[in-house]
Structure 1
Amino acid sequence: MLNNELRYFMAVATTGSLSAASEQLYVAGSAISRQIQKLETRLGVALFDRHARGMILTDAGQILANHVRKSMRDMEYALAEIHGLTAVRKALVRLACTDGMAFDLLPGLLARFRKLHPGISFDLQVGSAMQVAEWVRRNACDIAFQFSLAPEKEVEIIAAWPAPVLLLVDGGHPLVWQESVAMEDLHLYPLVLPEAGTTLRQLFDLSCRMAGTFIEPVFSSNNFSALYDFTRHTPDAVTVCSHFSVLWRATRDGMTLKTINNTSLSQRMLQIQVPGSKHRPAAVNAFLTMIAQALESEHKAWMARLG
């Protein structure tokens, strides 16, 4: 709620001239000029450099304009919070994730959230780790989910969980009964891997080199759904993923996750990311709260199963 002095000041700061501000506010230019001069007198500094072609903010004017804009945003945020549930009833939440998160986990959590808030719509874009990082930095999404080897720059990390690379096999696979699985053991079975360049493939290839072994996959793809179904339908095949990628689907399909005896495969983290220094609408905050709680609960349950 701005008084006339600040309202007229911001109009000129935004439009760059008294005449343009006059047209915008339907107020005489002379009245606007008097209010700005009154504000300058009260502050003891010039807020504009006057030129024939318009008015340009001085350093002091720029500082004031920035503070006024922040106050206006804070007021908008306060009103949104006051309306609370009304703000959550109808909104679009833009999501971005890498391929593994789109396979099973996110669709299930989105459906769960919409049962509580049926007015919320979601748009989910799936890309590479580099694409997702760029989308969140450019504010092209409200929330991003990705498996990362290191913290991303210029983004805020809301929560993170260990997401080690695990072996995924059929429930009747010989490796299920093997107490400890090493990289060398995988030579005996058809190997299914994501394409080169993904964080998962990078860690797997690094672990092979450290173990002094090399394993050529029988099938690779940039689509996790294809990797998963190929593994299901190929006798004795093995693939790799995080437990988050197949949180509910693996159990339903009779698949089993096994740890691999290699510390290099434990470096990945699942991160929930949001654009830095950006106010989040009520719907985004509500979804973030729900999904962070759900992932924390599921991760604890997985750790308990590991013993």
Structure 2
Amino acid sequence: MLSSEIRYFLAVAAAGSLSAASEQLFVATSAISRQIQRLEAQVGVPLFRRHARGMVLTEAGEIFARHVRKSLLDMEYAVAEIKGLQAVRRAHIRIACTDGLAFSLLPRLLADFRAENPAVHFSLKVTSSQSVAEQVRAGECDLALQFSLHPERDVEVIASWPAPVLLVMHQTHPLANRPINLAELGVWPLALPEQNTTVRQLFDLSCQMSGSIIEPVLTCDNFSALYHFLRHTPQAITLCSHFTLLCGAETDGLIMKSTGVDQLSQRTLQLQTVAGRPRSAALNLFLSFLTSQLESVSAR
């Protein structure tokens, strides 16, 4: 159903070079090159920047690729509807999320949902907040879960829940059983996520507003690494949301507690999907399941 020009264009955009696309498609590089040149002539502008080591989409190429992918997704829904596959039979749901949500919450929820709906398959992309929003807008995922500080454009928010940043420490930590002043954290080994996360952005803002200078002993963009560092360092402290750990903290002898700092409460967990996009029966069922489960977690 795709023209050869579009098929070759998407292959080169994904592979990054004519030779790599040629290997994937089993088509000569010269044939792919001719079709892309023909497509660029039709569009009227270059879609790729040619380099010695490959080809990179131009700004026009990015726009064209985004609209092509949206059209393909619309086509998939149309074919599914025509074939009567809107019922929850075989279905594939693509999810994008930020790192903390992939640590415990989503794997558990996916397992629980598939126990009742084994015909539904999932793919899960873990990436940054900025990239999650872009994937939703580009129609590259069916739904997204992310911690957010502000509304996202061209994104439909199905539901949202308060997701304050909490301290995580051992139950035997000296700060475990008393109120905490933010400045006190500077004397303990602090493990923090990278600065492109909402946790770190809110923490750094809180420190700046209180005049506290706190240097972490470990920074990492993977919460699993922070968590296991904490488990093996009795005096350490890390930060996350109650959605990230669910019930795992108590099992590992850890507690979660608030600092009472207002800035650390200014974010939400959002369940997002593509605005105006038709949804399959399987996706609607999964969205209802997620909403119910996350309401329960939030209340708890």
Letter matched to residue 282 of structure 2: A
Shift in Å at residue 88 of structure 1? 1.1
Distance in structure 2 (CA, Å) of the matches to 1:100 and 1:174: 26
1:214-238 deviation per Cα after TM superposition (whole angstroms, max 9, x unaligned): 1000000000100111011112100
Q: CA 1:249–1:237 in 2, change beyond 3 Å: closer, same or farther?
A: same
Deviation of residue 252 (structure 1)? Answer: 2.2
CA deviation vs aligned residue, 1:243-296 (integer Å, no higher than 9, x gap): 101112212222110101210000010000000110011111111101110000
Pairs within 5 Å for 1:1-307: 87-178=87-178, 180-301=179-300
Q: Which runs of 5+ in 1 are unaligned?
A: 1-69, 302-307
> Does the CA-based 8 Å contact 2:128-2:196 persist in structure 1?
no
Q: Which amino acid aligns with 1:148?
A: S
- 1:117/1:76 Cα in 2 relative to 1: closer, same or farther (>3 Å)? closer
CA contact (8 A) 1:104 1:248 kept: no
Secondary structure of the 1:271 match is strand
Sequence identity, in percent?
50
| Cα distance between partner residues in 1 of 2:139 and 2:249 | 33
Q: Is 1:105–1:248's contact at 8 Å kept on the other side of the alignment?
A: no
* 8 Å Cα contact 1:160-1:271 kept in structure 2: yes
Quickly say closer, same or farther: Cα 1:128–1:288, change in 2 above 3 A: same
**1:77 to partner: Cα distance:** 5.6
Quick check: 2:164–2:264 contact (8 Å CA) kept in 1? yes
Aligned residues: 225
Letter in 2 for 1:289: S
**Root mean square deviation of aligned Cα:** 1.9
Q: How many Å separate the matches in 2 of 1:217 and 1:74?
A: 51
Over 2 Å off, 4+ runs: 73-80
Could you tell me whether the CA contact under 8 Å between 1:169 and 1:237 is conserved in 2?
Answer: yes
State the alpha-carbon separation in 2 of the partners of residues 75 and 241 from structure 1: 42
Letter in 2 for 1:172: T
Task: Report the 3-state secondary structure (helix = DSSP H, G, I; strand = E; otherwise coil) of the residue aligned with 1:132.
Answer: helix
Q: 2:260, 2:286 → 1: CA distance?
A: 36
Secondary structure of the 1:290 match is helix
TM-score (norm 2): 0.72
**Which residue identity is paired with 1:105?**
L
Question: 2:276 is matched by which residue type in structure 1?
Answer: S
Using the size of structure 1 for normalisation, the TM-score is: 0.70
